[in-house]
């Protein structure tokens, strides 16, 4: 069987996320697993670290590659990325899932198409849910 080297890598910076969401490694771990499963990826393992006094890192190892988040709750910031090899698992689905969970005020995103020669850099469409009025 011949395997394709094609892959997609979506990286986003989110700003304006609630402190409590970004400062809970166990919550993020649960949601990251859900995000990986939502895009059809196969979860091989998960590492989560809660930092003191705040912040978290979660890495979801996928058969197709990875999904990760690193947070700075005091700044309302999280960096997320998802890379998947092949045509069948779309990393955009996992990223969109996490955006729906975190509900950031701002998102900056890039998508790399990899494994087909020179890297292609795209601006993906990211759906940012409307913030609930207070």
| Residue numbers annotated as active site | 65, 70, 85
Both structure tokens of 25: 């490694």
What percent helix, strand, coil does the chain show, rounded to 5? 25, 40, 35
Contact 21, 101 (CB under 8 A): yes
In 3D space, the residue among 29, 25, 26, 28 whose CA is nearest the CA of residue 43 turns out to be 29
Phi, psi of 69 (to 5 degrees): -145, 145
Going by C-alpha positions, the residue among 62, 59, 27 that lies closest to residue 42 is 62
């Amino acid at each position: 069987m011949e395997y394709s080297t094609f892959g997609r890598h979506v990286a986003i910076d989110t700003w304006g996320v609630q402190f409590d969401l970004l400062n809970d490694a166990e919550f993020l771990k649960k949601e990251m697993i859900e995000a990986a499963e939502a895009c059809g990826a196969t979860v091989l393992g998960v590492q989560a670290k809660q930092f003191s006094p705040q912040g978290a890192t979660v890495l979801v190892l996928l058969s197709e590659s990875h999904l990760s988040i690193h947070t700075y709750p005091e700044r309302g910031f999280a960096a997320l990325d998802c890379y998947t090899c092949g045509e069948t698992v779309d990393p955009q689905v996992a990223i969109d899932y996490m955006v729906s969970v975190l509900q950031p005020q701002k998102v900056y995103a890039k998508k790399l198409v990899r494994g087909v020669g020179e890297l292609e850099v795209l601006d993906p469409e990211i759906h940012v849910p409307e913030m609930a009025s207070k």
